[in-house]
Chains A and B, each alone.
Chain A
Amino acid sequence: MDKKRQGRRKELIKEGKFGPQEAISLITITIVTGVFFTSPSILASYVGTATWYMTLISAATAALGFTFVYLLLKRFPGKNIVEIFEITLGRFLGFIFSGLLLALFLLSPATMLRDFTEVMNVYVFPLSPPSYIMGFFIIGVILLGILGLETQARFSRLVAPILLVAFVAALIVASQNYELYRFTPILGYGIKRTIYHGLTRSSVYGYTIILAVIASSLQGTKHIKKIGYISIVASGILVSAATLAFTLTFSYYTAEEVPSSLYQMMALIDFGRFFQRFDALFFFIWDISTLITVSLELYIAASIYCKMFRIQNIKPVIIPFSIIIFTIALIPKDLGTFMSGYANLIPEYGWTVFYILPIIALIAAKLRGKKGEGEHA
């Protein structure tokens, strides 16, 4: 890339700086939030009782995929993925790759938003139209989007310990309904099927690519490596614990029918006449995690867009993008349509964007001998 272009690049948006703890909180919350919705029941339909270790296979695969992202970032220190795509693949192809990433980050929050709304409709607000629930949600998301990435990172760091304690407490208090016999058959529908789905659904852990988009806000490639792996391990443990609790609470054939496994688990808690029905209290962890996830993904989409088109001010992009997300979220007709199609799009095929695109970029960089400043090939 010529010096003129590099000079122009430096004028890009200010996203602020934050530390590893904030970044780990952001990424872990984004990955784990999926477990609150329809995802565990979809997993149960695929692998039966093997969900808890299937997700660990996915996490391991994601860690491998992230290694390529890390190697790419290491080769181009201080550069974000949009810039790296452009440097390694050229302006046109780099633009297309960034566009694919953008499309994914527009689809992902929309899916999450619809997932959330459907579960809300089932359990809490059966009479409210989806647009009403989404409307409230999107207002909060827009405000945090406008406040910026640094604020989102700080907020997630602030609430992460509370969410973690509440999450663990929820799993502990739900233990009164655990039955060990539901743990078997331990291999679920067969090890081959478990490994296959474990590999393909590794995309749920692929959100570590966010680190590549916001690389300039983090404190160097060394930290990115640490943040990425810790996030994957932490989310792997949390998701696995949640799916294990789910497996122990519901028989695998019942599990497939439950729209939100954790919410249902909380509804079954009964410690005498006074302490029962903790589901609505669990609602806060669920809601705030989703708000953090959707606002981060919205911001990332806006950030990729601004970087692609070299727009310096991200704020005016936030509202149009949130309208796009809101509109996409309204497309599925009902919960059935959503679960059979849209809900599986990113978990099943997201890896093509999360891992394959960075791998192609890395290969292209090696072949074309491209490297960042300060990196010696």
Chain B
Amino acid sequence: MAEFLSYIKKFITYKEPKDIDDFELLESDHEGTDQDGLDEEFQKEQDKKSNQDKDKGEKNEKKKNPLKVDDWNKTKNKSGNKSPQSPENMVDPQLKTNLERIQKVFISDKNSDIIIRQFKIAQKIDAFIVFIDGMVDREIINNYILRQLMKPELFENYKGDRLVEFVENNVLSVHDTKKETKYDMIIGQICNGITVLFIDGCSECLVFETRGYEKRSVEKPATETVIAGSQEGFNENLRTNITLIRKIIKNHHLVTEILPLGKTNHSFCAVIYVDGISNPKVIKEVKRRINSLDTDYIQSDGILEQLIEDRPLMLFPQVLRTERPDRASSFLMEGRVVIVVDGSPFTIAVPVTFFSMMQTSEDSNLKWQLGILLRLTRLIGMFVAILLPGLYTALLLYHQEVIPTDLLSSITMARESVPFPILVELILMEVSFELLIEAGIRVPGIIGTILGMIGGLILGQAAVSAGIVSPLLIVVVAVTGIGNFAIPNHSLALSIRISRYLFIVLGALAGFHGISVGIFVLGGLVCSMKSFGVPFLSPIAPKTKGNSGLALRMPAFSQKERPDFLNTLDRKRTGENPRGWIKRDKGGEKN
């Protein structure tokens, strides 16, 4: 009861709105300028901030009273986190201490996956390597690490100091090695399939790239198939996915920043952008959002999407997930930022708009006239998918006068034997259709196809014959379903499937008036959406300049500029005359 009263009180009393740090990508003076200046500015800002923090810290320190030992212990236990520079977090020169620590951290007495191999370097110095079985390439460990380390002849020139450096430079035949001193980093690396070498008497260890776990090969994309275009798709391996992008964008300004994901999972994601094109504010915002995540485990890009999108309560997606490297590369060259999550065959592109979700990579591979046709077909498909059942309900319940007499009479005759009201009949069929789609996805391979055929043909035919539904309704539901499948983005298609029910109900309650209100509300919600500070309906609402080819496909040579709403540093995509072979005089006339 008290809870109910408090709810009522909350409902009727005023509460100050939460002060949310709303990111907006506004026009700035830096657009189209060199990034160096910007970097300096950001650096200055950062310095200013850190100085301020420092000052604050100093002031606070002055005010603080010294803690008692008990209080200090309490605080330490409460926080549970060790500072990166604390002695507990640093590699100890004594090998035994390091071994015990590793054994403790990985619970090696129970955990059979952890391999701790102890040996003597050059048959003299105690050492051990640690790795996770199955995550590493045994060939590298046996032949290029252990064998090398145990050979005394490789240590003939060793003078007795800086052993780690000597081993790194003269003994190991591994392409990627790094010295590390902090345990939190070392543990994360081991979890990722990297091997770590601890040597007695050394206060740093060596980590080497030995990842060699099983992975799927590069295959055709399953959800974004095209007729004309690349047939490569991402897989679940972070490094492979980055390479697939690098294979397309052979640009030295392509930057990959690896950021940790999840507190206990030691997983990583890569933030990729083209330095000098992408707006630094967007890059900064992407990194800020990812770095601020406080969750133990991020399973996939889908979870990350939910954690970083602007408005999680909104039905429509605000980031774009693609499994096509060519599409991700095209986004990067437009000035967007791509996030690749380890273990996920999809990458996330931000900021995105509604129109980018209605495009496929095939559009740009075809002539512009064909591209326009495809994009218009998809738009029509989307409107059909969202509105057709609602309009059908509204027409039959409220606006029969709009239906031509002949059609109306055939509809009436077909509906004569149907016992259900239109709304029930429509919902029944829509739900059956949803069940078919869901079952078709869950049932493996060929059975799914057969299930779709059985459901679509036999069930529909039987329902009509039995007089449960009218034939026209089957046509409406089928066309709606086909329209929905024409939407290239899976998340958007799902959102539209849900919105369709809203329009069915509104059409049944108030005819075209209800549908108009639905369009108004849904349109308003979509207009209010932003993806990393960029309005979702750009470049139409708000109107931004020079974006030929964004809403409809325009000739490749007329797409001279990058999308205006992305506020990229380098606006120009092409020169003044992209088709250099057509020489033009000053007046623009063809010679």
Contact = CB atoms under 8 A, between A and B. Distances in A.
A352 to B, nearest CB: 32
B513 A288 contact: no
Interface string B504-536: 000001111111110111011101100000010
Nearest to A155: B527
Nearest to B538: A154
A151 B542 contact: no
B542 A22 contact: yes
B513 A136 contact: yes
B543 interface: yes
A66 to B, nearest CB: 23
B368 interface: no
Interface string B396-412: 00110110111100000
B17 interface: yes
Nearest to A22: B542
B382 to A, nearest CB: 15
Contacts of B510: 125, 132-133, 136
Contacts of A276: 404
Contacts of A158: 523, 527, 537, 540-541
A151 B523 CA distance: 9
A192 interface: no
A275 B523 CA distance: 29
Nearest to B511: A124
A71 interface: no
B517 A291 contact: yes
B517 A147 contact: no
B520 A291 contact: yes
Contacts of A275: 404
Contacts of A165: none
B399 A22 contact: no
A151 B517 CA distance: 16
**Chain B binding surface, main DSSP class:** helix
A225 B17 CA distance: 35
A172 to B, nearest CB: 19
B513 A21 contact: no
Which size bracket describes the interface of A in this complex? 35 or more
A291 B402 CA distance: 23
Given A120-B513, A147-B528, A288-B520, A154 B541 contact: yes
Interface in B529-583: 535, 537, 540-543
A308 interface: no
A151 B528 contact: yes
B7 interface: no
Interface string A97-138: 000000000000000000000001000110000001100110
B4 interface: no
Interface in B351-406: 398-399, 401-402, 404-406
Contacts of B402: 277-281
Contacts of B513: 120, 124-125, 133, 136-137, 283, 287
A143 B524 contact: yes
A152 B540 CA distance: 14
Contacts of B509: 136
A315 interface: yes
Given A19-B543, A277-B401, A313-B17, A159 B523 contact: yes
26 contacts: A18-B542, A21-B542, A22-B541, A22-B543, A124-B398, A124-B511, A124-B513, A133-B510, A133-B513, A139-B517, A140-B517, A140-B520, A147-B528, A148-B528, A152-B524, A154-B541, A157-B543, A158-B523, A158-B527, A276-B404, A281-B402, A288-B520, A291-B517, A291-B520, A313-B17, A316-B14
Closest 6 CB pairs of A and B: A287-B516, A158-B541, A154-B527, A154-B541, A151-B528, A140-B517
Given A151-B524, A288-B516, 11 more contacts: A125-B511, A125-B513, A132-B510, A136-B509, A136-B517, A139-B517, A144-B521, A152-B524, A157-B541, A280-B512, A291-B520
